[in-house]
Structure 1
Amino acid sequence: MSKPLKNPPTYMINSVDHALRVAAMLQLEGELTLSEVAERLGVARSTAHRLLAMLVYRDFAVQDDRRLYRAGPVLELAAHSPSAASRLRAAALPHLHRVVGVLDESANVVVRTGDTVRFIASVECSQALRVGSREGMVFPAHRTTAGLLLLAELTDEELEAVYPPERYAGRPTERPDLARLRTELARVRRKGFAVNQGRSERGVVAVGVPIRGPDGNALASLSVSMPSGRYDKHRLPSLVDTLTRAAGAVEADLAQSP
């Protein structure tokens, strides 16, 4: 069984978690209002205001004359091009909510950057036992459903460039076996979807499909995550069908947006 990568800390500090989530939102999406931050975190406006004030004080955020918050100097290198992720997230969110409404499992949109993937949108289901929000979190690409789908788009040469041996000097065990990975990616390409059973997080199963741009290339992955005890392989065709329909709807909305 694979080692879990993202167990919550034993003593989780909610204020720190909230501040880090806000920083990730600003980094990925650009401008946000106080109300948007409060709604996304599920906290009172006064709490959101205190969090934002501290981020501004430490230069993780700035507030402009329109009273909008955006990434500050500390995050500015990553804030130069937030529009693509923001546009994708805005297009995907309504469809994530519909997927959750149909399947009653948590749903996500994930993008790849190099050898990692980042969750840019996450909607939790209402079940007591559920996979929590992964929004803003980063995982090794080859250990996730989304990563497998997006790495499957690469040529052998491009895959080599993502995993050069020199990048993993001193930590060779973190570099995947490329021969084995290529075999797995070929299977993902052939099927058009990916299933991850406990590979990135113990006790979690995820099923995903790609979201494609007008040129046919995969921009992101749309996936559903659930506790492994609730996964039934006989439901896989219906899960994939629901996700494929939702991904097609996101693609259509993206094509129509400015």
Structure 2
Amino acid sequence: MAVPGPTHGSQPREYLKSVDIALLLIHILRDNGSLSVSKAAATLGVSPSTVHRSMAMLVYRGFATQSESRTYLRGPALTSSTLQPGVGQELINAVGPYMAAISAETKETCHLLVLSKNQCHFLHTVEGTQPVRVGIRRGQVMPAEKNSGGLIMLAEYSASELRALYPTVPDLEFDELRRILNRSRQRRFAINNGLYEHDVSAVGACLRNDLGDVLGALSVAIPTGRFRQVQRPCADVLLRHVRDINRRLASIRPLDIRKA
């Protein structure tokens, strides 16, 4: 018997339920962004062990990743950056050593992101050294309003530019986003307290050239369980290094992101 879900045409003669379950799990990840084993099992009417086995294969093939809280998120096969190969390499080369220094000093994971419309593309990651740490996000894409690097880059936009990026967001929600961005702009860094993954938080700061153009952002990503204790020290380390980085980036011009 087929698992409930969207179909196109008649059921194949050689129907494979295990394959159908895996494909439906991909649909759930694509549409919802995350899933838990128990909820997916209840939705599909199968056992948790069946979902576990299917998810293990999706992780293996890159359709899913397991977060620090052991829920599943979209994997690189569903969220891979559409940036052209080689885009951002000059920025990575310039910023990479500073990212390593930030990660060594904070012991947390450091990400380099660039903005395309209202999506953040993760270009590079230097993992922290803590036993429990945020993993590599390189190649993934996330909503800009849901992570600290995206928020601090969006803070550079005018109200009309923001509205063009978020035309369907209700006015009250849009005004709250603008308040968040204004606070981020005033303190020179943005905070993500579990906005996208509840177990991952971060602070983010802008990268600029000598003309004031936004080139990208760096974020220090921290497990939410210890975020409150280390948030301010990590932000201080990030801002101190970003001042030096921006001098290093003086002559670099914004990325040409054509396929994002």
User: TM-score if structure 1 supplies the norm length?
Assistant: 0.65
Partner of 1:73: none
Q: Which runs of 5+ in 2 are unaligned?
A: 1-31, 37-53, 64-74, 254-260
Partner of 1:11: 56
- The 8 Å contact of residues 99 and 246 in structure 1, kept in 2 or not, is answered as yes
Provide the C-alpha distance between the structure 2 equivalents of 1:209 and 1:139, rounded to a whole number of angstroms: 17
Offset at 1:135?
Answer: 0.6
Partner of 1:128: 131
Offset at 1:146?
Answer: 1.1
Matched, 1:153 2:177: no
RMSD: 3.1
Query: Closer, same or farther in 2 for the Cα pair 1:195/1:7, shift >3 Å?
Result: farther
RCO higher in 1 or 2 (8 Å CA, sep ≥ 6)? 1
Offset at 1:244?
Answer: 1.2
Give the structure with higher Rg (CA). 2
Q: Deviations over 1:43-66 (max 9, x none)?
A: xxxxxxxxxxxxxxxxxxxxxxxx
Provide the C-alpha distance between the structure 1 equivalents of 2:172 and 2:222, rounded to a whole number of angstroms: 25
Query: Closer, same or farther in 2 for the Cα pair 1:214/1:257, shift >3 Å?
Result: closer
SS at match of 1:10: helix
Question: Percent of counterpart pairs with the same letter?
Answer: 30
Offset at 1:144?
Answer: 1.1
Offset at 1:133?
Answer: 0.3
> Residue 246 of structure 2: which of 243, 251, 255 is its match?
251
Query: Closer, same or farther in 2 for the Cα pair 1:202/1:176, shift >3 Å?
Result: farther
Partner of 1:230: 226
- The 8 Å contact of residues 5 and 201 in structure 1, kept in 2 or not, is answered as no
Offset at 1:24?
Answer: 5.6
> Residue 103 of structure 1: which of 99, 106, 119 is its match?
106
Letter in 2 for 1:11: A
* Count of matched residue positions in the alignment of Structure 1 and Structure 2: 193
Letter in 2 for 1:109: L
> 1:33-72 counterparts in 2 under 5 A?
none
Letter in 1 for 2:238: L
If each structure's helix is expressed as a fraction of its own residues, which one has the higher value?
1
Matched, 1:202 2:198: yes
Partner of 1:75: none
- The 8 Å contact of residues 152 and 185 in structure 2, kept in 1 or not, is answered as yes
Partner of 1:180: 176
Offset at 1:236?
Answer: 3.5
Q: Deviations over 1:90-123 (max 9, x none)?
A: 1111111111111111110111111111111111
Partner of 1:51: none
Letter in 2 for 1:100: S
SS at match of 1:102: helix
Offset at 1:245?
Answer: 2.1
Offset at 1:253?
Answer: 2.4
Offset at 1:6?
Answer: 5.5
